[in-house]
Amino acid sequence: MDPLIRSYYLLKPMLPRAARASLRRWHASRIRQRCGDTWPIQVTAGAKPEGWRGWPDGHRFAFVLTHDVENRVGYSRVRHLAEVDQAGGFRSSFNFIPRGDYVVDAELRGWLARAGFEVGVHDLHHDGKLFTSRETFREKARDINQHLKEWGAVGFRSGFMIHRLDWLHDLDVLYDASTFDTDPFEPQPDGVGTIFPFWVQHPSGRGYVELPYTLAQDSTLFLFLGERSTELWKRKLDWIVERGGMALVNVHPDYVAFDGRPMSGEFPVELYREFLDYVRTRYQGQYWAALPSEVAGWYKRECVERGTVATNGQPTCRPSSINSAGVDGRLHGKRAAVVVFSYFPSDPRPRREALSLAKAGMTVDYFCLRDGPSVPTRETRDGINVFRMPITRQRSKWSRYVTQYLGFLVMVGAMLSWRSLRRRYDLVHVHNMPDFLTFTAVIAKLRGARVVLDLHDPMPEVFQSIFRGGERHPAVRLLKLQERLSIAFADLAITPNIAFKERFVSRGCPPEKMNIVMNSPQEDVFGALADPPPPTRDPNAPFRLMYHGSLVDRHGLDTAVEAVAVLRERMPNLFFNIYGYPTPYVDEIMAMVKARQLEAVVRYHGPRSLDEIARLIGEADLGIVPNRRTVFTEINMPTRVFEFLAKGRPVIAPNTRGIRDYFKEDEMIFFEPSSAEDLARQILWVYEHPDATRQIVLRGQRIYAQHRWKDEERFFRKIIRELLP
Q: What is the pLDDT of residue 401?
A: 74
Quote the percentage of the chain above a pLDDT of 70: 91
Phi, psi of 44 (to 5 degrees): -65, -20
For the stretch 275-287, pLDDT in tens is: 999 999 999 999 9
What type of residue sits at position 302?
Answer: E
Q: How does residue 397 score in pLDDT terms, banded at 50, 70 and 90?
A: low
Q: What is the pLDDT of residue 294?
A: 95
Whether the per-residue pLDDT at 38 is higher than 80: the answer is: no
Contact present, 517 and 715 (Cβ < 8 Å):
yes
Contact present, 197 and 52 (Cβ < 8 Å):
no
Least confident of 143-147, 411-415, 541-545, 704-708: 704-708
Q: How does residue 620 score in pLDDT terms, banded at 50, 70 and 90?
A: very high
User: Higher pLDDT residue, 227 or 524?
Assistant: 227
The per-residue pLDDT of the chain, averaged, comes to 88
Instruction: Kindly state the average pLDDT of the residues 435-450.
Output: 96
For the stretch 334-343, pLDDT in tens is: 999 999 999 9
Instruction: Kindly state the average pLDDT of the residues 624-636.
Output: 95
Least confident of 142-146, 152-156, 312-316, 676-680: 312-316
Least confident of 174-178, 398-402, 651-655: 398-402
CA 48, distance to chain mean position in Å, is 17
Q: How does residue 304 score in pLDDT terms, banded at 50, 70 and 90?
A: confident
Residues 621 and 626: their CA atoms lie apart, in Å, by 16
Q: How does residue 318 score in pLDDT terms, banded at 50, 70 and 90?
A: very low
Contact present, 653 and 556 (Cβ < 8 Å):
no
Instruction: Kindly state the average pLDDT of the residues 137-147.
Output: 95
Instruction: Kindly state the average pLDDT of the residues 654-665.
Output: 95
Whether the per-residue pLDDT at 713 is higher than 60: the answer is: yes
For the stretch 472-502, pLDDT in tens is: 888 899 999 999 999 999 999 999 999 999 9
Residues 182 and 42: their CA atoms lie apart, in Å, by 7
What type of residue sits at position 684?
Answer: L
Whether the per-residue pLDDT at 90 is higher than 90: the answer is: yes
| Burial of 482 per CB tally in 10 Å (0-12, 13-18, 19+) | middle
Phi, psi of 428 (to 5 degrees): -120, 120
Radius of gyration of the chain (CA): 28
User: Higher pLDDT residue, 31 or 435?
Assistant: 435
Instruction: Kindly state the average pLDDT of the residues 668-680.
Output: 96
Residues in the chain: 725
- Using CA atoms, how far residue 707 sits from 1, 640, 651, in Å, is 38, 14, 17
Instruction: Kindly state the average pLDDT of the residues 507-521.
Output: 93
Q: How does residue 451 score in pLDDT terms, banded at 50, 70 and 90?
A: very high
Whether the per-residue pLDDT at 589 is higher than 60: the answer is: yes
For the stretch 182-240, pLDDT in tens is: 888 888 887 888 999 999 988 777 899 999 999 999 999 988 888 899 999 999 999 99
Return left, alpha or beta for 265; rule: phi > 0 is left, psi -120 to 50 is alpha, else beta: left
Whether the per-residue pLDDT at 322 is higher than 90: the answer is: no
3-class secondary structure per residue, 155-176:
EEECHHHCCCCCHHHHCCCCEE
Residues 199 and 319: their CA atoms lie apart, in Å, by 9
Helix (H) or strand (E) holding 476: helix 474-489
Whether the per-residue pLDDT at 387 is higher than 50: the answer is: yes
Instruction: Kindly state the average pLDDT of the residues 543-554.
Output: 93
Contact present, 354 and 459 (Cβ < 8 Å):
no
Instruction: Kindly state the average pLDDT of the residues 691-705.
Output: 94
User: Higher pLDDT residue, 400 or 210?
Assistant: 210
Residues 227 and 231: their CA atoms lie apart, in Å, by 9
Instruction: Kindly state the average pLDDT of the residues 177-184.
Output: 92
For 288-354, give the DSSP string. EE--HHHHHHHHIIIIIISS-B-TTS-BTT----TTS----TTTTT-EEEEEESS-TTT-HHHHHHH
Contact present, 680 and 567 (Cβ < 8 Å):
yes
Instruction: Kindly state the average pLDDT of the residues 340-361.
Output: 90
Q: How does residue 547 score in pLDDT terms, banded at 50, 70 and 90?
A: very high
For the stretch 248-263, pLDDT in tens is: 999 999 999 998 777 8
For the stretch 562-571, pLDDT in tens is: 999 999 989 9
Say which residues have a Cβ less than 8 Å from residue 640's Cβ, sequence separation at least 6. Answer: 548, 549, 623, 625, 651
For the stretch 56-71, pLDDT in tens is: 989 999 999 999 999 9
- Using CA atoms, how far residue 170 sits from 124, 156, 174, 176, 202, in Å, is 14, 12, 12, 12, 10
Q: How does residue 332 score in pLDDT terms, banded at 50, 70 and 90?
A: confident
Whether the per-residue pLDDT at 10 is higher than 50: the answer is: no
Q: How far apart are the first and last CA of the chain?
A: 24
Whether the per-residue pLDDT at 49 is higher than 90: the answer is: no
Whether the per-residue pLDDT at 321 is higher than 50: the answer is: no
Closest CA to 622 of 573, 569, 660: 573
